[in-house]
């Protein structure tokens, strides 16, 4: 659903029209666009009304809320749209897990133990705005009822499927994932394993090869290379255990 939402945002003709706004282009550049970043984590939370006699809001209270927020913020570190924590990966099928890419193992604010981070690779810049003319349907009580029925049927149909199939059969999601080849995933996995085991010179060579041949702007590659270079000049410290600190995010 996260991938579908990102695809819908970038296909929206209304949001697409904002890209042509002169004021936004002047302030944000010609490539500005509305986008989503999503962090997924599983855990308990207390839902309730929080506030004072002047203002009350519905809120969720839990250390897991802070962890989920930190995971979402880490999308900026790795320059990806969707990051999934190990707590969620443990709940999904093998096929769904195989569609996610392990990109790091980190310590996050609020988490009692290090956690693996996975990303769902999506090239949203490849999505074109959908200018297809929509049918003009009178929006009344009857139409709302019919739409609710249709949405309920669609939801039930999706729940009967292996969700990993949607990443391959959905036209927009498949388009966003088309540039991520088997060779890309295999090489990155090799590079990540060398990074995790402290073989940083080998990891550097593999990740640089990915950037030069397959994915020049891949965020996780750049994030790992930046960490290894600026903190340790590609020489893993003796106490390296394959875990980096993201407490500041």
pTM: 0.83
Tokens found for residue 28: 């944000």
Query: CA-to-CA distance for 26 and 36, rounded, in angstroms?
Result: 22
CA separation for the pair 85, 67 (Å, rounded) = 10
pLDDT band at 89, cuts 50/70/90?
very high
* pLDDT tens digits for range 198-225: 999 999 999 999 999 998 999 999 999 9
Nearest Cα neighbor of 108 from 160, 134, 69 is: 69
| pLDDT top residue among 165 and 62 | 62
């Amino acid at each position: 659903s996260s991938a579908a939402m990102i695809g819908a945002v970038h296909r929206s003709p209304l949001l697409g029209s904002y890209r042509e706004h002169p004021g936004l282009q002047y302030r944000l550049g010609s490539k500005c666009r509305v986008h989503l970043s999503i962090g997924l984590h599983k855990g308990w939370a207390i839902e309730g009304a929080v506030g004072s006699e002047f203002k009350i809001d519905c809120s969720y209270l839990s250390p897991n809320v802070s962890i989920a927020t930190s995971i979402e913020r880490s999308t900026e570190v790795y320059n990806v749209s969707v990051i999934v924590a190990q707590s969620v990966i443990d709940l999904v099928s093998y096929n769904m897990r195989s569609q996610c890419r392990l990109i790091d193992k980190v310590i996050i604010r609020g988490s009692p133990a290090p956690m693996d981070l996975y990303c769902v690779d999506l090239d949203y810049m490849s999505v074109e705005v959908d200018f297809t003319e929509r049918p003009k349907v009178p929006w009344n009580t009857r139409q709302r009822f019919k739409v609710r029925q249709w949405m309920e049927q669609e939801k039930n149909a999706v729940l009967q499927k292996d969700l990993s199939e949607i990443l391959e059969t959905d036209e927009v999601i498949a388009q966003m994932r088309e540039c991520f080849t088997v060779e890309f995933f295999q090489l990155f996995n090799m590079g990540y394993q060398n990074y995790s085991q402290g073989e940083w010179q080998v990891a550097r060579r593999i990740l640089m090869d990915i950037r030069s041949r397959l994915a020049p702007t891949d965020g996780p590659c750049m994030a790992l290379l930046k960490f290894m270079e600026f903190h340790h000049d590609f020489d893993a410290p003796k106490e390296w255990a394959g875990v980096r600190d993201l407490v500041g995010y």
